[in-house]
Structure 1
Amino acid sequence: MASETFQQHFDYVKDKPLRVTGLRIDGNLRTRDWVVEREFTAVLESQTLDELKDRLLEASGRLKDLDIFSYIDIECDAGPPGIPGSTELVVTLKEKQTTALSAGTFVQGGEGSVEATIKFRNLCGTADTYEIQVEKGSQQSSTYTISAVQPRLGGSDAEVEARVFKSEISHQKHSSYKEDFQGFSSHFRSGNHELCYELAMRQISPTLPRASKMIEKHRGPQLKSSLKHTFLFDNRDSVYRPTAGVALRMQTEVAGLGSPTANLLRFVRQELNAHVVIPLNYGLGITLAGSAGVVVPWGEGWSTQVTSISDRFFIGGPSSLRGFRTRGVGPSDARRQGKDADSKTAASSTKKPKKEIKRDYLGGDLKWTGFAALTWRLPNKYLQALDAQGQLFVDAGNVVALSGLGVDGMRKAANNVFNDFRVTTGVGITFPTRVGRIELNFCNVRQFREHDRVKQGFQFGIMPLGW
């Protein structure tokens, strides 16, 4: 009854003239006044109570997005007695602690990793953020990053970020090499767009004595100076287990900016990812996902130049092509004769040795993948509590090499990308978690090629969040 009376009174006065005469801010011990005031610029121009309500909700949301306040309260007090129909806003804030420590785990490229981050908030009182992040992988990969972010650049929705990094990424298991990467990047983000410039030195090093000849050809230093644009659209209702919506991500990268040097990488790389979720009746749904990408060198003699293995596309594994091992699809080269240190260790161990990988997977310059699934809620109450669902799916894709083949060879290889593809069908269960979507699938690989690393039967994996 009280709520109905309030609504009736609000409906009566919501369109009457209103004037906001002032803004008072309390509790911002570190945060500068103008950081808060700029979020209320539109609020101060409100001319009716209904307009004020909508703009206050927007301003409150923008303050929360700054991630520097643990408490936000906005009150409307009566304005000066001499100004009828006026109000004064009182904003009461409680700032978050300047330091925050977090840790987590994730899976990328078939490698499990642990990360720890220390964050410093609002040190300059401008909603600025500084982070130090350390990642350690199960296959001896490591990354160290220091970054600084300034949101609301010039009062707009844009933000800028500067980042310095050093990483060592191991691909020994699948491709017998590692890459050491160090440099810096700058980012500009606004709306659905991000522009990134990166300058880094990369060292490719074979990690096994038996590394293939093709891996050996990539040995050495590489200088990367690139500009990358990312467009992202996402209206899905959840990043953990979406039930409706569309997501689209498109990345364009041009490398080779600056004065030409012997080690300067020159290429153009384009990648597109799409995800569509369509709800049906009775708890059913349809999920469609796909990706496509191409990378080609540019400059003099571009058609006979070879792209770096670190810039190519790899497919295989639960995150790209189910029913195959991680990075286990596409061009490969036989490892050389002999024994690696890992093989000697396995031979002296009493444990049953793992199946030896005899080829190095090289990735490709042109790829596509497609995924379609019928999903449903599971009837078991315990599985429902985990938000688990079943899926009946078909997965397909291919990746081919283009660079170094000449124009005619590139054209021929591109024509084969849709004629010589892999196909997997299967059924499985998925569980959404904060580190990614866990999948347990039973896969039936229908089409594969010689040297593909096929995984028939049960396959366990973790899909990255959002895709």
Structure 2
Amino acid sequence: MASNSGSEDELLESLRNPHTEKLDQRAKELREREEAQTQKAAQRLRELISSNSTLPVTISSIRLIGSGPQHTRRSFLDGLFAPILSANRGSSYKLSEALQEAGAVADKLRRFDIYHDVSMFVDKPDPTDPSSTPTDIDIWLQARERGRINLKTGTDIGNVEGSAYGNLLWRNIFGGAESLSLNASKGTRTRSSYQAVFDAPILSDPDKRITLDALASSTYKPWASHEEVLKGAGVKYSWATKSGTRHQVGYTGAWRQTTNLAADASPTVRNDAGDSVKSSITHTWTADRRDHPLLPSRGYLLKTVSEIAGWGPLRGDVAFWKSEVETAAAMPISNGVSFTTGLRAGVLYPLPVGFGGPAQPSRIHDRFQLGGPTDIRGFNIGGLGPRDGRDSVGGDVYAAASANLLIPFPRVAKDTPLRLQLFANGGRLLALKDTSSSDVYKTIAQLADGLPSLAAGVGVVYAHPVARFELNFSLPLVMRRGEDARKGLQFGVGINFL
């Protein structure tokens, strides 16, 4: 055995050729030299553009090359490129303006989510072309197409629920950045959920989109002793303004069932058992100026959601006006420490179905629920507000607020998405006694009557690219009789935390 080991060592030593080491070193030096030359060339290009930024130019053509155009309609690209072709507008740009416009087009291509690695080049046209002029430039966009079919499966754990899911995404279906997403999941609380979403941009604009969706789900709601079965479909149109705010208008028709009641379900839940049809129009307005949607350190969010039900082709058997407002702000303190705060409030005002006859009280499907790891930490889901026996039956008016101090972990880079959290949050959820407008005002005034239900604690926050994860230790400080508080560890997963 000793002789064999010695022969192996001699063989390995013979393979360590000094010439090979020199070649590796030489290759490394060449790579470093090429990188340095590339950086110098890029710097010279920036200096050349800067010194000629006011030079008049005419964009004579824009071309998309690479693997990008294989499945994309020419008419779709023409709608994107035509507005900036100065050769067709009868006017010219300054060089800096032309590059800015072309850069905006490249950014739009990225935002359609059908390309990646979009890069831009500028060149002069063929000098032998008799139609070209000295001010003409050509814009070349090189893009690599994303995979058109994407299949993903996995499991999720969070918010006292575990589930398995599958997702099929089909991109660029008709060559105009359309997409079809099919989702299916089964879990411990969401027993089953099936959703199909078709999305398409309008007029080659990523900020103007039309969406068609259909949903069928069955969700177990132990805090209210029943299972909700939902089948519905809707259409939405969304757009963005020049200031960066976003709007979405939609129409939804849904058939809801309150079924599989527990043996000890409350009279309120039993009264709402059976079928219900809702037809509603919604509008959402969002102004998001935060530097990160899940772990912001500066900026603010303003959002309103308004819904009117009982009007439309289906009309349905419920009618109400429902409005929510959400605000959030974040500010840096020092050394990666930041302070965030949030406020949410909502009102549900019952209306007559078809706007004729008496208004009917709200149903459990439509009322607000408050409490849980993504809004009022330190309380279970549906832990705040009106109750009938052990059931949380929801409310018609609520307000909730939170304050969070986010601190980087010791000996961990400040730019990592991991933070320690100190928080305090609270809120109130109330029910209307009748459907009169005077009772709505009285109920809103009661929100300030006494201290809200409060909890504080400490935890760990991790901002994954697709969701935010929190593990908190919570201590309820103020709670009302019957409310379902939770002292100790609480785990939450979501994309919209208070």
TM-score normalised by L of structure 1: 0.86
* Residues 79 and 204, structure 2, Cα contact 8 Å, conserved in 1: no
Shift of 1:64: 1.0
Is 1:284 the equivalent of 2:337?
yes
The 1:434–1:13 alpha-carbon spacing in structure 2 relative to 1, beyond 3 Å, is closer
Structure-2 separation of matches of 1:428 and 1:25: 49
- Deviation of 1:154 after TM superposition, in Å, equals 6.4
CA deviations over 1:390-446 (Å, ceiling 9, x no partner)? 222221100011154655655543332222421112222222224532223332322
In 2, Cα distance between equivalents of 1:149 and 1:86 = 37
1:389 aligns with 2:419: yes
Query: Which whole-Å deviations, capped at 9, do the CAs of 1:240-297 have from their partners, x for residues lacking one?
Result: 3111111122100000013787x51101110111111111123322111110001111
Larger displacement relative to structure 2 (414-423 or 159-168): 414-423
Equivalent residue, structure 1, for 2:454: 423
Counterpart of 1:447? 478
* SS class of match (2:56): coil
1:198-245: per-residue Cα shift (whole Å, max 9, x none)? 012111124212111110000121111100000111121112311111
2: CA distance between counterparts of 1:437 and 1:25?
37
1:189 matched to which residue of 2? Answer: 238
Distance in 1 (alpha carbons) for counterparts of 2:262 and 2:124:
76
Residue 162 and residue 12 in structure 1: after superposition, are their counterparts in 2 closer, same or farther (change >3 A)?
same
Query: Are 1:272 and 2:331 matched, yes or no?
Result: no
The aligned counterpart of 1:203 is 257
Equivalent residues in 2 for 1:204-283 (5 A)? 204-258=258-312, 264-283=317-336
- Map 1:135-174 → 2, pairs under 5 A: 135-153=185-203, 157-171=207-221, 173-174=222-223
**Cα 1:282/1:11, change in 2 over 3 Å:** closer
Whole-angstrom CA distance in 2 between matches of 1:96 and 1:259? 40
Matched, 1:74 2:129: no
Separation in structure 1 between the aligned mates of residue 189 and residue 441 of structure 2, nearest angstrom: 37
Q: How has the CA–CA distance of structure 1 residues 182 and 43 changed in structure 2, closer, same or farther, with 3 Å as cutoff?
A: same
Specify which of 68, 85, 92 is matched with residue 135 of structure 2.
85
Distance across 1 between alignment mates of 2:62 and 2:381: 57
Unaligned runs of 5+ in 1: 335-358
For structure 1, which segment, 435-444 or 128-137, has the greater mean C-alpha deviation from structure 2 after superposition? Answer: 435-444
Instruction: Name the SS of the counterpart of 1:88 in structure 2.
Output: strand
Q: Distance in 1 between matches of 2:369 and 2:488?
A: 22
Please name the residue that 2:34 is paired with. Answer: none
Note if 1:41 corresponds to 2:82.
Answer: yes
Which residue type is aligned with residue 309 of structure 1? Answer: I
The residue identity in structure 2 corresponding to 1:233 is A
CA displacement, residues 39-74 of structure 1 (integer Å, 9 cap, x when unaligned): 223432252221121112111110111112244343
CA deviations on 1:291-329 (whole Å, 9 max, x unpaired) are 0001111125656x2111111111111211111111111
Partner of 1:51: 97
The code of the aligned residue for 1:166 comes to: A
> CA 1:424/1:301 → structure 2, altered by over 3 Å: closer, same or farther?
farther
- Relative to structure 1, the CA distance from residue 99 to residue 273 in structure 2 (aligned partners, 3 Å threshold; closer, same or farther) is same
Preserved CA contact (<8 Å) 2:190 2:217:
no
Structure 1 residues 465 and 433: CA distance shift in structure 2, 3 A = farther
Cα distance between partner residues in 2 of 1:412 and 1:275 = 27
Given that residues 453 and 480 in structure 2 are in contact (C-alpha distance below 8 angstroms), is that contact kept between their aligned partners in structure 1?
yes
Aligned to 2:404: 373
Q: Deviations over 1:319-358 (max 9, x none)?
A: 1111111111111112xxxxxxxxxxxxxxxxxxxxxxxx
Query: Greater shift after overlay, 22-31 or 103-112?
Result: 103-112
Amino acid at match of 1:136: K
Distance change >3 Å, CA 14–CA 130, structure 1 → 2: same
Q: 1:324 to 1:302 in 2, by over 3 A?
A: farther
| Alignment CA distance shift 1:243-1:89 (3 Å) | same
Alpha-carbon distance between aligned partners in 2 of 1:60 and 1:119, rounded to the nearest angstrom: 23
Q: Cα deviation per residue 1:20-48 (whole Å; 9 max; x = unaligned)?
A: 22233444222111222322234322522
Structure-2-length-normalised TM-score: 0.81
Residues 306 and 403 in structure 1, CA contact (< 8 A), matched pair in contact too: no
Higher-Rg structure is: 2
**Partner Cα distance (2:285, 2:431) in 1:** 26
SS in 2 for 1:214: helix
Any stretches of 5+ residues in structure 2 without a counterpart? 1-39, 87-91, 241-245
| Pairwise CA RMSD | 2.5
SS in 1 for 2:122: strand
Checking the alignment, whether the CA contact within 8 Å between 1:322 and 1:424 is kept in structure 2 is: yes
Contact kept, 8 Å, 1:297 with 1:403, in 2: the verdict is no
Map of 2:370 onto structure 1:
315
- Report the CA distance shift for 1:330/1:282 in structure 2 as closer, same or farther (over 3 A): same
Match of 1:176 in 2: 225
1:161/1:4 Cα in 2 relative to 1: closer, same or farther (>3 Å)?
Answer: closer
Against the structure 1 CA distance between its residues 373 and 183, is the aligned structure 2 distance closer, same or farther, given a 3 Å change threshold?
A: closer
Q: Are 2:46 and 1:30 aligned? A: no
Q: SS in structure 2 opposite 1:40?
A: helix
Q: Quote the Cα distance in structure 1 between the aligned partners of 2:350 and 2:57.
A: 62
Question: Residues 243, 60 of structure 1: CA spacing in aligned structure 2 closer, same or farther, 3 A cutoff?
Answer: same
Residues in 2 aligned to 1:265 and 1:107: alpha-carbon distance in whole angstroms: 34
Deviations 1:355-413 (A, max 9, x none): xxxx01101000110001222222143x8686322222221100011154655655543
Counterpart CA distance in 2 for 1:130 and 1:4 is 42
Partner of 1:460: 491
Aligned to 1:413: 443
Say which is worse superposed, 195-204 or 137-146, in terms of deviation. 137-146
- In structure 1, C-alpha distance between the alignment counterparts of 2:439 and 2:120, rounded to whole Å: 66
Summarize the Cα distance change of 1:123–1:461 in structure 2 as closer, same or farther, 3 Å threshold: closer
Q: 1:24 to 1:423 in 2, by over 3 A?
A: closer
CA distance in 1, matches of 2:496, 2:438: 40
SS of residue paired to 1:195: strand
How much has 1:5 moved relative to structure 2?
4.3
- The separation in 2 between residues aligned to 1:361 and 1:86, in whole angstroms, is 69
